[in-house]
Each structure stands twice: as structure tokens, then as C-alpha cells.
Amino acid sequence: MDKKISHTLDLLDIEETDRLLEKDIKFKLDSNSIERIKKSTYSKAGISRQKTFVTRGLSAIVAAMIIIVVSIFSIGFDNVVSAMGRLFGFIPGYGIMEDNQSIQYIIDGHNISSENSQAILTINSVIATKNNLTLNCYIKLKDFQEEKNLSNIENDIKTDKNNLVMAVNGKEYRPSGCSIGSGGKIKYISAAYQIEQDNLSTRNIYTFNYKKYNLSAEFRLKVPEGYDSLEEIGPTDTKNNISITAVSSLQDNKLLVELYPVNKSGLTITSFTKEYDFGYEKKDLTLETDQTSHSYTLPEGFMGVNNRFYFNVLPQEKNLTLKIPYLVVKSQEKMKKITLKIPEEGERVTINKKVNFKNSTMVISDVQRIKNGTLNGALRIYFKFENENKNMVMFNAQFRRVNILGMEQGGGYSTNLKDGIPQSIDYGLDEPDGDVLRLGVKDPEYFLLGEYNLKLSNILIGR
């Protein structure tokens, strides 16, 4: 109830807010805060009589986020071509950023790891900005027992934060924030630490200690290199305002290709490969050589969007070209609410209800009440798509049950595919649904067409 009211009031527009706040309300704020806010605002506005004032905490967080935004999820307003003229920074295992001024240091070395009888800890990347250090690592458990109880996994993650300790110059730091992907044999961790500038330098030795597993790894920092172009980092191709740079290395006698995008499209990349078994027109990422076409294998596990692909290439193979026929992307837009009348059991009703997104339209053509072995059955919802942009082929979206206030409720659905493309979903019905099912539709997913061709060198030659 409390949440519903607060949530509804959060969404008031200006006119509605006016009505709610028409009475004058008294506030209390200390004069020091007001003074700091004024100084900061004057500084932003370029009014010179005030001294420059930058809050340390936020600037560090924002700096760290800039890298993430550019390298993985960028929603930019200029395009990749204009970005080409800038200086690039590259952090192996992490990403590409357009301007590395905000990054002072990165880890010196790569894949630094340590091992004991329980697990193997590997540090993927470390970046340090002013007062902030972010570490990404993973833990591979040797004796893994699958935890089936979700709440145990959640509790485990909650307590884990305090086990991630960074030490430097005799001082210990706990994360100011972290993300943990868990529940499987491999745990992925991203932890951010607020560290004083004095303790961030190339002279120090840093010890990362995952106390839960009694595993620690030491590393130093170094100043990152700058690159004048993406091609200096690796072969690069650009389509639809997204450039992809490939970086090759040798791992366990296999060719490992890591893909690093600079994304100015306003869309979020969710995959470089097919999503379901078939892929768009049965195409998928491949490595072509003068002798054959190689399919890829994936790492044992990954967090977020996988950008690492392994190929069994022979040393004598030449003319290696990585072909990425399309990207899978999603467009983050406001959830669209729909209300569907639930027909009688077995009955199929044509409705042709349109759900409009920025780049395409989902047409819910029919609804049918079906038996699915549960008490209330399910509503099968058939859909098709109308695409305005020929390079963007919509193929899916996320469905959520909502209440009349538009707030998400529990529930789930299964997807029915034809040639790897969703054709309909079966949304499980509950008794309280009555004769209507209210759904929110969000995150339209697309195949973003335009083949990337990245010419790689065969680093196995001469081995």
C-alpha cells in the first residue's frame, strides 16, 4: 500500500505535482549544505566568481561509470565516426574507452590468479580513477555442490560483500559497491573501493583477499596506454554506429578472440551470436579461413554479455576472418501496458492489438486459452512484428504481469519458437486474473543486421 502510493506520486507530471504541492511546505537544510550546492552550481554554470568545486565521491563514481557506459552499454548521441578522431584507452578484459583521462591506472599484468584446495581466483581487470578502484574477477570452485535454494544463494551474496577485502600500505578497504553473479561453479565479482589518492600509485602492492575462500592475489598498477585509433588496438569494423574491435590471443592452444564494442547506437548489445538454436536466417558468428569455416566454443561461464570466443585453428590456416552476421540488441523503452480479455477454454480470438515501440510494432494477433497442466491453464498470446527499419528485425520482447497501477506482479511464461524465432508465449493464469490478463511489454529485442568482417592474424603460426 505504502509503495503503491509513493510509486504513483513518483510519476506525477508537472501539472499534477502543482496540484499536490499547492500549499507552501517548510523545509530545513543546513547553511553549509546550501553553500556547497551553490558553489557547485556556479561552477557548472561557469560563473567565475565562485571557486571550482568538485565533489570527490561522485566524480570518482561517474568517472568509473563513463568507462562502463562507453565500453559496454553506451547510449551516446554522437556517432562512432566522430569518436574515431579521439584518443582511445584499452583495458584488456574490460573494454575500450574513448578518452582515458579519467583513468589513472590499470592492473599491471593480466589474468593474475591464485589457487588453493577450494578454488581458483583470477583477476580479470582493475581500473583506478581518482579515489576509486574497481576490480573484476572470478572464482572457480573446485568442489561445487549445486545450491538449489535461491534464498540461500541470495543470502550468500549478501554476506559476500564483506569478504572482499582490498589491502594496501597496511590499510584494509571493504567495497563501496559490488555486483556478484553466483549460483554456479563460477562466481563473477565486480567490486568498487573508495581509496584515498595517496594510496593509488604504481609504487604500491595491492592485495585482494577473498576471505571466504582464503584466497588472495597481489598486483600492481600501471598507467594505461593511449591509442590514436581503434585499429591500433585490433582489427575494427563499424556498422550501425557500433564499432567492434577484435583482440586475439592464445589460450590452451586455442585461438581466443575477444570483442570490444564502442557503441553509439542508443541500443544495448545483448549478444554477438545467435540467441536461440537457429539464429537469424540460421546464421551465426564464424571464423572463416582459407581452409574451412570454424564455429566457436564459449567460456565455461560469463557474466553479462559474453565477448570471448574460442576457435580450434591450425597453425597452417591463413586469411582468418571473423564474421559476425548480426548483433542481438535491445531497446530500453518504457513498459507498454496491455489488457487482454481471456477467452473461454479452447477458444482462439483474433484481436490484432498493436504495441508500438520506437523502431517497430508488435502486433498481438490472437489470444487463446489453453490447458497446460496447471489449475487455471494459460493464455497463449500469438504475435508478429512490423519493422520500419530494414536493418532492425524485431523478434522478441519481455512480458510482465502488472496490476491496474502498472506495477509488476509475479507470474511467468514460456515461449514457443519456430525456427528459433518466438511466435507466441503461454502466460500462466492465476485465479485472481478474472477474465482479463494485464501485461506490460518491454525491452523489444532486435537482430541488428550488417555483417562485421574482422581480419585476424593467425597467432598460432610458428608455434
Q: Near another protein by CB under 8 A, which window of 29-37, 224-232, 245-253, 415-423?
A: 29-37
Residue 6 CB, nearest approach to another protein (Å): 5
CB of 61 to another protein, least distance (A): 5
- Counting contacts by CB under 8 A, is residue 276 touching another protein? no
Q: Is 370 helix (H, G, I), strand (E, B) or coil?
A: strand
Q: Out of 160, 317, 426, 445, which residue is the one contacting another protein (CB under 8 A)?
A: 160
What's at 129, amino acid-wise? T
What is the C-alpha to C-alpha distance for residues 279 and 288, in angstroms, rounded to an integer? 18
Window 285 to 324, contacts with another protein (CB under 8 A): 301-305
- Which residue lies nearer to another protein by CB, 21 or 461? 21
- Which one of 28-36, 85-93, 221-229, 248-256 is the stretch in contact with another protein (CB under 8 A)? 28-36
Q: Residue 328: CB partners within 8 Å, gap ≥ 6?
A: 269, 270, 271, 272, 273, 274, 275, 445, 446, 447, 448
- CA dist., res. 16 & res. 1, Å (int): 20
15, 143, 198, 431: which one contacts another protein (CB under 8 A)? 15
In the shown chain, the binding pattern of residues 39 to 58 toward another protein, with x for contact by CB under 8 A and - for none, equals -xxx-xx-x-x-----xxxx
3-class secondary-structure state, position 305: coil
CA dihedral 355, 361, 367, 373 (to 10 degrees): -90
From residue 71 to residue 90, what is the string marking binding to another protein with x (rule CB under 8 A)?
Answer: -xx-----------------
Alpha helices (runs of H) in 161-296, residue ranges in sequence order: 230-233
| Residues in region 176-215 near another protein by CB under 8 A | 176-183, 188, 190, 192
Residue 244 belongs to what H/E stretch? Answer: strand 242-251
What are the residues facing 115 on neighbouring strands?
120
- Please state, in angstroms and as integers, the Cα–Cα distance from residue 265 to each residue in 8, 229, 357, 397, 420, following that order: 32, 19, 16, 19, 25
Which residue number, 68 or 167, has a Cβ lying nearer to another protein?
A: 68
Q: Could you say which of 170, 253, 375, 404 contacts another protein (CB under 8 A)? A: 404
Query: Is 440 a binder of another protein (CB under 8 A)?
Result: yes
User: Which of 334/418 has CB closer to another protein?
Assistant: 334
Q: Is 132 helix (H, G, I), strand (E, B) or coil?
A: strand
Binder to another protein among 120, 141, 335, 421 (CB under 8 A)?
A: 335
Nearer to another protein, 283 or 308 (CB): 308
Residue 141 contacts residue 189 (beta carbons within 8 Å)? no
Of 121-129, 243-251, 332-340, 448-456, the window that binds another protein (rule: CB under 8 A) is 332-340
**Does residue number 63 form part of the binding site for another protein (CB under 8 A)?**
no
Question: Is 361 near another protein (CB under 8 A)?
Answer: no
Q: According to CB under 8 A, which one of 243, 268, 307, 331 is a site residue for another protein?
A: 268
In 3D space, the residue among 252, 314, 327, 260 whose CA is nearest the CA of residue 287 turns out to be 314
